[in-house]
Structure 1
Amino acid sequence: MSSADWDEDDPFEEQREKIDNPMQRLVFEYGRPYWFSVTSGITASVFARLLDLIPPILLGLAIDAIFLQDRPFNLRFVPSEWLPTEQADQFTLTVVIIALSFTIGAAFHWLRNWGFNAFAQDIQHDVRTDTYDKMQRLDMEFFADKQTGEMMSILSNDVNQLERFLNDGLNSAFRLGVMVLGIAAVLLTINPQLALVSMAPVPLIAVFTYIFVKKIQPKYAAVRSSVGEVNSRLENNLGGIQVIKADNTENYESGRVEDVSRKYYDTNWGAITIRIKFFPGLQIISGIGFVLTFLVGGYWVFNGAPGPFSGELGVGEFATFILLTQQLVWPMAQFGQIINMYQRAEASAERIFGLMDEQGRIETDVDAPDLEVDEGRVEYDDVTFSYDEEEVIVDDISFDVPGGETIALVGPTGAGKSTVLKLLLRLHDVDDGAIRIDDQDIREVSLPSLRQSMGYVGQQSYLFYGTVKENVTYGTFDASEEEIVEAAKAAEAHDFIQNLPDGYDTMVGERGVKLSGGQRQRLCIARAILKDPEILILDEATSDVDTETEMLIQRSIDHLTEERTTFAIAHRLSTIKDADQIIVLEGGEIVERGSHDELIENDGLYAHLWGVQAGEIDELPQEFIERAQKRTARTQARRGGD
C-alpha cells in the first residue's frame, strides 16, 4: 500500500498538514525551560570529543619523537621549556596525559549523557501531559471519528519517538558533529594535502543523504498512521473480548488483526527497504575515504610525496591519520542513523502538534463568570442542532423546566433525546437558539461551573480502575468518610459494598468488571449523590439491569431527585410515568408533552409506545408500525455510515 493510500486512512491527516517545522517548534517551545540541562550536555559533548582526540595525536607524536626520534617532542600550546628532554620522561608525560584524557573524558561523557537524558525526559513529560490535557478538553465531535487506539498511539508511541530522538539522536548529532569538525581540524593541521584526500567522500555523503531524506519522509508518516490503526484494532478487540468469545468469532478477529498487522508490515517494510539500502551505501562511500587515505599515505611514507603532493609524512603522522580517519568514517556513516531518527520524530511531531492545534466547535471564554444556580429553572429556547451541518438532529425545540421538577424525555431510538441533554452539558453547542439556567445563557458562563452544577448518571455506568471509594468520590475528592457512606446508603449500595472482600477499599477492576451491572450503576448514583448537584441528568439509568435491581436503583433515584431539577431519559416508560412533565420527541422535534395520564388519553405516539411495552402490539395502528419501520431503517442507515 502506498503512502498516499495510508494518508487517506490517517484520521489525523488534516491536522498533520497544518503543521510547519514541527521539530523546531518542539525544541523552542518545550526546550527553553530546560536550557541548563541541554547546554550542559552540549558543552560536555564538545569537551568529551576533543579529549577523545588526544590519544591518537599523542600516539603519532610518540612514534615520531620518542621511538623513531625523527622530529622534536613538541606539544601544541605548551611552551617547549616546560617539556622534558629525556626520552623516558617524555614517554612518562605522554602516558600521563593520555590517562588524564581518558579519566576527564569519562566525566564529561557522564555529564553529556545526563544533560541530554534530562532534556529528553523533561520534554517527553511535558509534551505527553499537554497533549493529553488538550485531547480531553476537545469537544465530543472530535472523538466521534477517532478511535481510542489511534489517540493512544499519539500519547504513547509518538511521544516516545520524540524522546528517542531528543536523547539518542540529538546527543549523537552533537557528538558526531564535534567529532567530525575536530578530526578535520586536526588532520588539516598535520597535513592539509592528505586531509583533503580523507574528506573527499563528504560531498557524496551529503548528496546521498539528501536523496534518502526525500524518499524516507513520506514513508515514516505512513508508518506512524498504520501504528494507530493497529492499536485501534487491538484496543477494540480486547475491549470486546466477551462478545468475541460469546459469538465464537476468534478466528474472524484473528484475521482482522492479521490484516491490519499486514498493512503495517507492508508500510514499515517499504521504509525498511529504503533504509537498508541507504546505510550500506553510506558505509561504502565513507570507507572510500579510509582506503584512499591508507593508499596515498602508505605510498607517501614508503616512496615520498606522490603525484601533485609535496613535503614529508612521518610514520607517526601516518598512524595518527589512519586512526583519526577511521574515527571520521564511522561518524559520517552514523549521520544516516541520526537522519533516520529525525524523520521518524518529525512524523510523530506532526501528529502531536496537529492534535494540540485542533480547534473544537465549543468556544469558551476564560473570563466568563461562574454559573449561579438559585431555583434551577432550565429553558430551551428554539434550539436547533446538527452534528455535520447537514442532517438536523434537534429541530427548533422549546420548553421550560421549573426548578425542582422532573422532566422526562421519551421517544423512539434516534429521536434526539440524548442529544438534547448533551447540549445542556455543553458537550456540543447549539446551532441556533439558546439554553438558559435561571436566565443565564450557558454559553456565557464558565464551562467548569456549568458542569459542576450538574450530576450525570448514564446507561453506561463507567468505573475507573481503582477502589470503590475512589470511584464514589470521583469529582468530589475532598468528601469525608461519613459523607461517602451516606451517599452509598442513599444509592442502596452500602450493603453490597460491605460484603465485598475489602469493603470500600475493594479494587473494582478495569471499567468495574468485578462488579455486576446493577452494582456499577448504584456506585455511579452514589457518585452523583455525593456531588449534590443542582441539576440531575439520568440517561436510561436502569435500562441494562434486571427487574429487582431496577427496583433498588429506582429507590436510589427517588432519593436523588428530591428537590432538584431532574432530566430523565427512559425506554422503560414505567420508570418515568410519575414525572412532572413528559416530552415526547420524534425526528428531533417535540410532538407531544404533558403528564403520563394526559398523554395516554391523547392516544398519540406516547400511548402507542406504552402499548408496545404493555404487550398490546396487536392493538397498535398500522400507521405507527409503518413509521417505526421507517425510523428503524433510517437509524440503521445512519449507524452504517458512521
Structure 2
Amino acid sequence: MKIFFRIFGYAKKLRLFLPQYITFVLLGSVFSVFNLALIGPLLSVLFKEETDETFVKPESFELSISYIKDMFNYQFSTIIEQHGEKDALIFVCIVVLISVLFTNVFRYLSAIISARIRLDVVKYLRMDVYNKVSKMHLGFFSSERKGDLISRVTNDVQEVEVSILSSPKSLFREPVTIIVYFIALFSISAKLTFFTLLILPTAGGALGYIVKKLKKKAVQSQESLGRIVNILDETLGGMRIIKAFNAREYVQSKIDTETNFYRKVNLSYSYRKELGSPISEFLGIGIVTVILWVGGSLVLDNQSDLSAGEFIAYLAIFSQIISPAKAFSQGLSGVQKGIVSGERIFSVIDKVPAIQNKPNAYVIDGFNESLKFENVSFSYDNDNQVLKNINLEIQKGKTIALVGQSGGGKSTLADLIPRFYDVTGGDIKIDGHSLKDCNIDSIRKQMGIVTQESILFNDTIFNNIAFGLENTREEDVINAAKIANAHNFIIELENGYQTNIGERGMKLSGGQRQRISIARAVLKNPPILILDEATSALDSESEMLVQEALANLMKNRTSIVIAHRLSTIQHADKIVVIQNGEILERGKHDELLAKDGVYKKLSSMQNT
C-alpha cells in the first residue's frame, strides 16, 4: 500500500479534489439507493397492498435516512388519500426519474475529478522519472538497458495509469457505494442484514487468495516487457549490421523467445485475474439466493415486520451490491500489476545520482587561468584503474593534444573535465576551485564538446545548431554555420536551415553531420573546447573541411584535443602521450620526435 499512496502523492491538487470526489460519490450512491428503495412503495400501489400504519409529517428537518423515509411515506400516503393511487404512482415515477438524474450527474462529476487526478499523476510521475534519469552520471547508462529505461517511462507509467489511477472508481467509489447500500439494508431489516454479514467473509477470503497470487506474475510480465523494448531498440538502431551479417533470423528468434515468455506469463496472469470476477459474481448470487430463502421464509411465516414490498426492495438493493463488489475485486486484481510497475518506477526515482552538486556549490562565471589535474586517478568499477596519478596543467588559450593507443584513458580523462564522472583519487581544479565544489551546470556552460560520433536529433538543422539555447537569432545560427564550413551545403538543401535531418541526422553525410556539431559548439561560444577524435571517421575531403572548421572554432579558446591522426595536432602547444592510464611523455611535436620515444613510434607507424 506504500507504493499505492506514494503514486497518488503525485496528484498535486489531491487535497482539493478528494473531498469533492468523496462528496459526489456519496451523493451518487445515496440517490442510487433511493431509486431502489422506491420499489417498495411502488409495489404497494401496484398490488394494492393494505396497511394499517398511519404516516405523520415529521416535525423538524433532520439529515437522516429516517427523516427522508418518513417524509416520503407521509407525502405518498397523502397523495393516495387526496388524489388516488394513479396519482401516487405518477408521484413515485417522477421521484424515481429525478433521483436517477441526480445519480448520473454526481457520477459524471466524480468521473471528471477522477480523470483530472489520473492525468495529473501520469504527467508528474513520468516527468519525475525522466528528470531523475537525466541527472544520472554516464556510468548509469552503461550498466542499465536503455530499452528497459524507456519501458519504465512509457509502459510502466501507462500500467500505473490503467490499473492504479483508474482505481478511484473501483477502490474508492465502490466501497462507499457498498457502505451506503448496507446502511439502507439495515434501515429496512437489521436482522436480515446481520445474517448477510455473517456469510460475506467467505467471498472475501476466496478473492483475497486470488489477488495474492497475482503479484509474482505481474513482476515477470513487466520485466519481460522491458526486455522486449530493449531488444527492439537495439534492433532498430543496428538494422544496417543485422542486414549486413544476415542476422535477421537470429534477432527474430531472440524476439520470438522473449515474446513467447511474455505471452506465457500474461496468460497465467489473466487466468488468475479473470477468475476473480466470475467467482465474485457466483458467490454474490449464491448469497442472494440464501437471503431470498431466509428472508422469504420470514415474510411467509410472518416472523418479521418486513412486508413483501420491503423485502423485494431489500433484494433489489442487495443485488446491486454485487456489481460494485465485483468491480472492487477486479480493481484489487488489476492494482497488483500497477503496484509492480510502481515499484519499477520508484526504483529509478529513488536512485541517488553519483554526481550531484554540494550545498551552496560555487558557480563558475568564466574561465580565467587554468585547468589542473592533481594526482588524478579514476576507475569505473573501483577495481581496475583507468587513470593513474595524472598531473597536468592546461593554461587558458592553449591547445593540449592527448594521444596514445586506444583504451589508454584519453577519452576518460576528457570526460572528467565536464564532470561526466568524478575522480576517484586526486582532484581537478578550474581556476583554483575543485570541480567537486562547483555547480555542475556552471562547469558545463564553460565547455563545448565535439565527439567522434556526431550526436544529432530528429529535428531541423536550425534547432540542432541552436540546441540548448533560447531565443537564438537566425543570423547567429548562420554565422556559426559559416565558421563551421556548413552554410554552403545547408542552403543547397530543399528547406535550408529548416530541413529535418532525420533520426540521428542520417539524412546527412558524416562530414555534414560533424560540421553541424561544430556549428553547435561555435554558437555556444564556450571558453573551453573538448574535441574527441572529431575527424577520425571522415574521408579525406570531409576531414579537410572539418579540420578547417575546427581551426576556426579553436581560435582564442582553450582546447583539449584527442587525436588519432597525429598530423592534425602537430601545432598543439603541448602534446601529452597517455598509455595504460599514465602520462609517458609530454611536449611539442618536434620535442617528442627528438626524444625517440612512444610518440615517435606512433608517428612512424602512421607515416609508414
User: Is contact 2:403-2:562 (8 Å) kept?
Assistant: yes
What is residue 115 of structure 1 aligned with on the other side?
Answer: 113
Q: 1:131 aligns with which of 129, 132, 150?
A: 129
User: Is contact 1:197-1:292 (8 Å) kept?
Assistant: no
Q: 1:47 aligns with which of 17, 27, 30?
A: 27
Alignment of 1:178-257 (within 5 A): 178-257=176-255
For residues 21 and 502 of structure 2, the distance between their equivalents in structure 1, rounded to whole angstroms, comes to 44
Deviations 1:409-463 (A, max 9, x none): 1111111111101110101111111111222211111111100000000111111
User: Is contact 1:119-1:166 (8 Å) kept?
Assistant: no
What is residue 318 of structure 1 aligned with on the other side?
Answer: 311
Alignment of 1:479-490 (within 5 A): 479-490=472-483
> CA separation of 1:73/1:422 partners in 2, compared to 1, >3 Å: closer, same or farther?
farther
> CA separation of 1:513/1:73 partners in 2, compared to 1, >3 Å: closer, same or farther?
farther
Q: 1:88 aligns with which of 83, 86, 89?
A: 86
1:126: how far off? Answer: 0.9
Deviations 1:19-50 (A, max 9, x none): x82222222x3235332233322221111122
User: Is contact 1:39-1:115 (8 Å) kept?
Assistant: no
1:101: how far off? Answer: 0.8
1:438 correspondence with 2:427: no
What is residue 514 of structure 2 aligned with on the other side?
Answer: 521
1:415 correspondence with 2:408: yes
For residues 271 and 281 of structure 1, the distance between their equivalents in structure 2, rounded to whole angstroms, comes to 16
> CA separation of 1:429/1:574 partners in 2, compared to 1, >3 Å: closer, same or farther?
same
For residues 393 and 201 of structure 1, the distance between their equivalents in structure 2, rounded to whole angstroms, comes to 70
For residues 406 and 502 of structure 1, the distance between their equivalents in structure 2, rounded to whole angstroms, comes to 37
Deviations 1:44-103 (A, max 9, x none): 111112211122210122102553223359661417654423312221211111010111
Aligned length: 590
> CA separation of 1:376/1:283 partners in 2, compared to 1, >3 Å: closer, same or farther?
farther
Letter in 1 for 2:48: L
What is residue 3 of structure 2 aligned with on the other side?
Answer: 22
Q: 2:260 aligns with which of 262, 282, 296?
A: 262
What is residue 556 of structure 2 aligned with on the other side?
Answer: 563
What is residue 582 of structure 2 aligned with on the other side?
Answer: 589
Alignment of 1:347-426 (within 5 A): 347-426=340-419
Compare 596-605 and 127-136 and name the one that shifted more. Answer: 596-605
1:466: how far off? Answer: 1.2
What is residue 632 of structure 1 aligned with on the other side?
Answer: none
User: Is contact 2:224-2:262 (8 Å) kept?
Assistant: yes
1:57 correspondence with 2:50: no
What is residue 63 of structure 2 aligned with on the other side?
Answer: none
For residues 467 and 181 of structure 2, the distance between their equivalents in structure 1, rounded to whole angstroms, comes to 61
Equivalent position SS for 1:30: coil
For residues 373 and 183 of structure 1, the distance between their equivalents in structure 2, rounded to whole angstroms, comes to 70
For residues 281 and 582 of structure 2, the distance between their equivalents in structure 1, rounded to whole angstroms, comes to 71
1:193: how far off? Answer: 3.0
Give % identity: 32
For residues 6 and 46 of structure 2, the distance between their equivalents in structure 1, rounded to whole angstroms, comes to 54
Deviations 1:256-296 (A, max 9, x none): 11122122223323323332444333333222212212333
User: Is contact 1:44-1:109 (8 Å) kept?
Assistant: yes
User: Is contact 1:290-1:329 (8 Å) kept?
Assistant: no
What is residue 331 of structure 2 aligned with on the other side?
Answer: 338
For residues 263 and 571 of structure 1, the distance between their equivalents in structure 2, rounded to whole angstroms, comes to 46
Compare 291-300 and 215-224 and name the one that shifted more. Answer: 291-300
Q: 1:291 aligns with which of 289, 292, 303?
A: 289
Equivalent position SS for 1:492: coil
Compare 506-515 and 286-295 and name the one that shifted more. Answer: 286-295
1:335: how far off? Answer: 1.9
User: Is contact 2:528-2:557 (8 Å) kept?
Assistant: yes
1:556: how far off? Answer: 0.3
Letter in 1 for 2:101: T
Letter in 1 for 2:357: T
Letter in 1 for 2:40: G
Deviations 1:150-201 (A, max 9, x none): 1111111121222224542122222211221122122222122333444444
Letter in 2 for 1:495: N
User: Is contact 2:458-2:500 (8 Å) kept?
Assistant: yes
For residues 36 and 73 of structure 2, the distance between their equivalents in structure 1, rounded to whole angstroms, comes to 21
TM-score of the two chains, using structure 2 as the length reference: 0.93
Equivalent position SS for 2:559: strand
Letter in 2 for 1:76: K
Equivalent position SS for 2:21: helix
Q: 1:449 aligns with which of 442, 464, 468?
A: 442
User: Is contact 2:450-2:532 (8 Å) kept?
Assistant: yes
Equivalent position SS for 2:363: coil
Deviations 1:301-347 (A, max 9, x none): 5x425xxxx31543322322332222112222222211112212211
User: Is contact 2:273-2:330 (8 Å) kept?
Assistant: no
Q: 1:70 aligns with which of 50, 61, 65?
A: 50
> CA separation of 1:73/1:240 partners in 2, compared to 1, >3 Å: closer, same or farther?
farther
CA RMSD of aligned residues (A): 2.0
> CA separation of 1:190/1:517 partners in 2, compared to 1, >3 Å: closer, same or farther?
same
What is residue 566 of structure 2 aligned with on the other side?
Answer: 573
User: Is contact 1:201-1:288 (8 Å) kept?
Assistant: no
For residues 320 and 396 of structure 1, the distance between their equivalents in structure 2, rounded to whole angstroms, comes to 87
Q: 2:99 aligns with which of 78, 98, 101?
A: 101
Deviations 1:331-376 (A, max 9, x none): 2222221111221221122122221111122231252121143435
User: Is contact 1:138-1:360 (8 Å) kept?
Assistant: yes
What is residue 623 of structure 1 aligned with on the other side?
Answer: none
What is residue 538 of structure 1 aligned with on the other side?
Answer: 531
1:211: how far off? Answer: 2.1
What is residue 10 of structure 1 aligned with on the other side?
Answer: none
For residues 280 and 169 of structure 2, the distance between their equivalents in structure 1, rounded to whole angstroms, comes to 21
1:243: how far off? Answer: 1.6
Compare 360-369 and 414-423 and name the one that shifted more. Answer: 360-369
User: Is contact 1:290-1:325 (8 Å) kept?
Assistant: yes
Could you tell me which runs of 5 or more consecutive residues in structure 2 were left unpaired when the two chains were aligned. Answer: 56-67
User: Is contact 1:63-1:316 (8 Å) kept?
Assistant: yes
1:304 correspondence with 2:301: yes
For residues 77 and 604 of structure 1, the distance between their equivalents in structure 2, rounded to whole angstroms, comes to 107
> CA separation of 1:278/1:554 partners in 2, compared to 1, >3 Å: closer, same or farther?
same
Equivalent position SS for 2:235: helix
Equivalent position SS for 2:361: coil
For residues 42 and 352 of structure 1, the distance between their equivalents in structure 2, rounded to whole angstroms, comes to 28
Could you tell me which runs of 5 or more consecutive residues in structure 1 were left unpaired when the two chains were aligned. Answer: 1-19, 616-642
Deviations 1:354-407 (A, max 9, x none): 211111222312521211434352111110011110111111111111111111
User: Is contact 2:171-2:332 (8 Å) kept?
Assistant: no
Equivalent position SS for 1:380: strand
> CA separation of 1:80/1:326 partners in 2, compared to 1, >3 Å: closer, same or farther?
closer
User: Is contact 1:492-1:522 (8 Å) kept?
Assistant: yes
What is residue 61 of structure 2 aligned with on the other side?
Answer: none
For residues 535 and 206 of structure 1, the distance between their equivalents in structure 2, rounded to whole angstroms, comes to 68
Equivalent position SS for 2:338: helix
1:232: how far off? Answer: 0.6
> CA separation of 1:330/1:171 partners in 2, compared to 1, >3 Å: closer, same or farther?
closer
Letter in 2 for 1:68: K
Compare 424-433 and 100-109 and name the one that shifted more. Answer: 100-109
What is residue 633 of structure 1 aligned with on the other side?
Answer: none
